[in-house]
């Protein structure tokens, strides 16, 4: 069960003649990332942007952990730090029908803890708004484009409203949000809680979804030894380790260590074999503003199979996850060291 299963054989890219590297490029899955960096967003973007099986066509920023001006500056600064040239579009400034809610208590006022990134290079910003930027990528791609959404779903909610054909051009949406278990079913994570109206549009758009809920992020934890290993890999691992050290989870539920919600979402996309997943029907039931207690109604049973369009990981091999995550970051440091 891989993300490729969402694509019918006819939609797969046709291999083209050319050099080996070009043929390899043709096998990479086109991806748009929607993100609100955000400490764990940065920790998730690093392995994703260097993965050989994906081709990130666009990064869309969104209001979330901090305001969109900061999430955009953080994204541009990270790309500068990593030496990557990927188009960025500044996305939605506030949820669809609610005032913005931020999480500086978790991510710091800057959104990335006390860490300094290089100055943003605005030349990476694409012209036009977030709908135009998405549309441009979706219409130029020969095959469906996958979306990895690790922030509030405002951009996607706006997209489906303005450009409903997007549903046919997106292969799969892998998102961090919601919860499935009895313990958490009445609470919700930040991403869906701050813009439940957008989440409802996205879950109703008819696109296959992977929903990586709060329970998974609570399991994918790095402890002090892991952070030391991360810091030892080089400048990139060091940056992530310093950010994670200043990351403040919900103390009431936190185990010792830091919880990697967004990296767990990216790794589900890249290595689904590390997880146990089941298909469910998910309904988003927003509560009236100002309540943040949106309900994600996840039903694995007692609904027709045809309605179970959301793939929900219910468990993760935490040790293999940790090893895979640390190795992916170490690999980025090796790649960057070789370029110097």
Cα Rg of the chain, angstroms: 19
Strands 221-222, 310-316: pairing kind: unpaired
213 lines the binding site for Ca ion (CB under 5 A): no
Nearer Cβ to Ca ion, position 71 or 158? 71
150 lines the binding site for Ca ion (CB under 5 A): yes
Using CB under 5 A as the binding criterion, the count of chain residues that bind Ca ion stands at: 6
Binding map of Ca ion across residues 51-90, x = CB under 5 A, - = no contact: ----------------------------------------
- Check if the beta carbon of residue 267 is closer than 8 Å to that of residue 274: yes
Nearest partner of 212 among 154, 298, 322, judged by Cα: 298
Least distance in Å: CB of 77 to Ca ion? 16
Nearer Cβ to Ca ion, position 87 or 263? 263
The conformational region for residue 111 under phi > 0 = left, psi -120 to 50 = alpha, else beta, is: left
CA torsion, ordered 285, 272, 84, 22, to nearest 10 deg: -120
- When binding is defined by CB under 5 A, the residue of 77, 151, 177, 196 that contacts Ca ion is 151
Tell me which residues in 7-46 interact with Ca ion (CB under 5 A): 36, 38, 41
Tell me which residues in 258-277 interact with Ca ion (CB under 5 A): 262
Nearer Cβ to Ca ion, position 152 or 171? 152
Structure tokens at 182: 């009895």
Nearest partner of 298 among 310, 287, 286, 306, judged by Cα: 310
Question: Which residues face 176 on adjacent strands?
Answer: 212
Least distance in Å: CB of 191 to Ca ion? 7
Least distance in Å: CB of 177 to Ca ion? 10
Q: List contacts with Ca ion (CB under 5 A).
A: 36, 38, 41, 150-151, 262
């Amino acid at each position: 069960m891989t993300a490729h299963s969402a694509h019918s054989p006819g939609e797969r890219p046709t291999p083209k003649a050319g050099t080996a590297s070009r043929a390899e490029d043709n096998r990479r899955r086109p991806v748009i990332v929607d993100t609100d960096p955000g400490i764990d967003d940065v920790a998730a973007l690093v392995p994703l942007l260097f993965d050989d099986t994906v081709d990130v066509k666009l990064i869309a920023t969104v209001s979330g952990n901090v305001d969109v001006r900061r999430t955009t500056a953080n994204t541009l600064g990270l790309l500068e730090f990593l030496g990557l040239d990927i188009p960025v579009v500044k996305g939605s400034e506030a949820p669809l029908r609610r005032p913005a809610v931020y999480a500086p208590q978790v991510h710091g006022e800057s959104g990335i803890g006390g860490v300094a990134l290089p100055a943003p290079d605005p030349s990476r910003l694409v012209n036009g708004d977030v709908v135009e930027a998405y549309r441009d990528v979706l219409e130029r791609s020969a095959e469906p484009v996958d979306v990895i959404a690790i922030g509030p779903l405002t951009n996607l909610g706006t997209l489906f409203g303005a450009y409903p054909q997007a549903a046919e051009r997106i292969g799969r949406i892998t998102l961090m949000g919601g919860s499935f278990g009895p313990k958490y079913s009445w609470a919700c994570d930040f991403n869906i809680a701050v813009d439940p109206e957008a989440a409802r549009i996205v879950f109703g758009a008819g696109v296959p979804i992977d929903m990586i809920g709060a329970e998974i992020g609570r399991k994918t934890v790095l402890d002090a030894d892991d952070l030391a290993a991360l810091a030892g890999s080089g400048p990139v691992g060091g940056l992530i380790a310093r950010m994670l050290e200043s990351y403040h989870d919900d103390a009431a539920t936190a185990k010792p260590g830091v919880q990697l919600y967004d990296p767990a979402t990216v790794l589900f996309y890249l290595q689904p074999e590390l997880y146990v997943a089941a298909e469910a029907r998910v309904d988003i039931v927003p509560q009236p503003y100002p309540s943040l207690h949106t309900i994600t109604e996840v039903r694995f049973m007692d609904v027709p199979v045809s309605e179970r369009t959301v793939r929900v990981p219910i468990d993760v091999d935490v040790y293999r996850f940790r090893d895979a995550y640390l190795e992916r970051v170490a690999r980025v440091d090796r790649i960057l060291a070789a370029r110097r």
